[in-house]
Structure 1
């Protein structure tokens, strides 16, 4: 099973820059998208239902803001919209597809650039939910932009960014909880420990930043410990340039 995750940073702009062509070439079982910045009823059928996929979306209440989606080759048994707390659900940040053996979710964390307190509140509530997930018998694959670089390996110029949202000590400590006591696994780092592996580059001088590898790894696919051995390969598609984010792709020894 192949899962791709990509922060499109505006679905309509991404489509203009080749997102649908990229999607058609992936042969992925599920594609998780984040930060649509559009309501699903505003989108053409070619975006809602690309050939071979069924699309599911959770819109943010605010226009031109947030929103997540799932493109699925196999129709899920059920779709879960949101997590039950207002900040997540009103801002369109979590959408889950349930299959027989496990669930696949697309997720978008607040960046914290404009409102660090709101991000911290979200993290507190979300960690409570992750702890509940970890205690269930069902397995989960949660994909998306977490807006936190966990380790110094996960961003360039980390010494200059220790007070920058996305690399603050309290944010990294929160990720320590996710990958420590809560028990989830960073699938990418299970199979790839290389440096200069990034999924986001600053918008200003984006081309230069990518060439110099001056980026951040803000995107993850996480699983519970029972799926650790099912992670077969993981890579970042830096050739995809329809967004300032790059797709994160993971192959699992699993079937839907």
Structure 2
């Protein structure tokens, strides 16, 4: 029987050096995280290791363009293998997709840190986003074949359902909530109204937070820095942990670590933390 707790967290740091200046280190020190997926690192591997400390084993895929994107996975366990390729060889996914395998308590778990493009409706940026989502959709079944215990997490930059965006009516024509984007999640998780939604529908992956939070607004993971968005909880739920069914069955706890106040935020996103029994 599974007996070892594995705490996995994901966070879009919005620049990890700035995040540490604002308090990310204090959050991490107090959360007893075993594996941490980071997006928008926007720093060198040396910077990352220096901020996190030598007790962390770090795999890092920086973006092709310096100072942009960048994904990493930091763990108390050493990665046995990691992979950064996604989709066609000519497709630049650098800084946006990083896979790693870890052996924990005799069990191998596959972890992905993903950062989907934000996109912009009607532009080449949106075309790139669709190319990335196409590659991701094609990779998910391969991941399941590779390991029945896998989790894809990060800033996926799509609100799947109306529950995931406070002001969804005002965003139906904006990147992040376009019908075409949401259809990818219909195919991955199942569509709203499908009796097997988030329980074997689509490609069978499970949205952990929605599964355990239930049919409620949010809980949101991103708020604009501008205005009163955070104070009014006018947010988007775009940061996910998507698990294979076998891993989803091992969830023992979860949290969306929303800051207590606006001035205590160290990113415009907030961590999503899930405990798994291995």
Does the TM-score normalized on the shorter chain lie above 0.5? yes
Q: For residues 86 and 32 of structure 1, what CA distance do their matches in structure 2 show?
A: 24
Counterpart in the other structure of 2:20:
15
Counterpart in the other structure of 1:104:
111
Query: How much has 1:22 moved relative to structure 2?
Result: 1.4
Counterpart in the other structure of 2:155:
145
Unaligned runs of 5+ in 2: 1-5, 191-201
Q: For residues 71 and 180 of structure 2, what CA distance do their matches in structure 1 show?
A: 26
How do 1:66-77 residues align onto structure 2 when only pairs under 5 Å count?
Answer: 66-77=69-80
Query: How much has 1:132 moved relative to structure 2?
Result: 2.1
Query: How much has 1:236 moved relative to structure 2?
Result: 0.7
Q: In 1, are the aligned partners of 2:114 and 2:152 still within 8 Å (CA)?
A: yes
Q: For residues 142 and 44 of structure 1, what CA distance do their matches in structure 2 show?
A: 21
Query: How much has 1:217 moved relative to structure 2?
Result: 0.3
Q: For residues 99 and 89 of structure 1, what CA distance do their matches in structure 2 show?
A: 25
Q: For residues 63 and 195 of structure 1, what CA distance do their matches in structure 2 show?
A: 36
Query: How much has 1:14 moved relative to structure 2?
Result: 0.8
Cα distance 1:153–1:88, how it changes in 2: closer, same or farther (>3 A)?
Answer: farther
The TM-score with structure 1 as length reference comes to: 0.91
Q: For residues 38 and 44 of structure 1, what CA distance do their matches in structure 2 show?
A: 7
Q: For residues 188 and 95 of structure 2, what CA distance do their matches in structure 1 show?
A: 22
Q: For residues 142 and 49 of structure 2, what CA distance do their matches in structure 1 show?
A: 36
2:220 is equivalent to residue 217 of structure 1: no
How do 1:138-177 residues align onto structure 2 when only pairs under 5 Å count?
Answer: 138-177=148-187
Query: How much has 1:92 moved relative to structure 2?
Result: 1.1
Query: How much has 1:85 moved relative to structure 2?
Result: 3.8
Q: Which runs of 4+ in 1 moved over 4 A?
A: 86-90
2:95 is equivalent to residue 92 of structure 1: yes
The TM-score with structure 2 as length reference comes to: 0.84
Higher helix proportion: 1
How do 1:1-256 residues align onto structure 2 when only pairs under 5 Å count?
Answer: 1-41=6-46, 43=47, 45-47=49-51, 49-50=52-53, 52-83=55-86, 85-86=88-89, 89-100=92-103, 101-113=108-120, 115-180=125-190, 181-193=202-214, 194-205=216-227, 208-239=228-259, 241-254=265-278
Q: In 1, are the aligned partners of 2:84 and 2:94 still within 8 Å (CA)?
A: no
Q: Which sits farther off after the overlay, 130-139 or 239-248?
A: 130-139
Q: In 2, are the aligned partners of 1:236 and 1:246 still within 8 Å (CA)?
A: yes
Unaligned runs of 5+ in 1: none
Cα distance 1:229–1:105, how it changes in 2: closer, same or farther (>3 A)?
Answer: same
SS in 1 for 2:140: helix
Cα distance 1:237–1:124, how it changes in 2: closer, same or farther (>3 A)?
Answer: same
Count of residues in correspondence between the two structures:
250
Cα distance 1:44–1:228, how it changes in 2: closer, same or farther (>3 A)?
Answer: closer
Cα RMSD (Å):
1.9
Q: Which sits farther off after the overlay, 75-84 or 56-65?
A: 75-84
Cα distance 1:78–1:137, how it changes in 2: closer, same or farther (>3 A)?
Answer: closer
Q: Which sits farther off after the overlay, 80-89 or 218-227?
A: 80-89
Query: How much has 1:156 moved relative to structure 2?
Result: 0.4
Q: For residues 233 and 72 of structure 2, what CA distance do their matches in structure 1 show?
A: 28
Q: For residues 36 and 131 of structure 1, what CA distance do their matches in structure 2 show?
A: 27
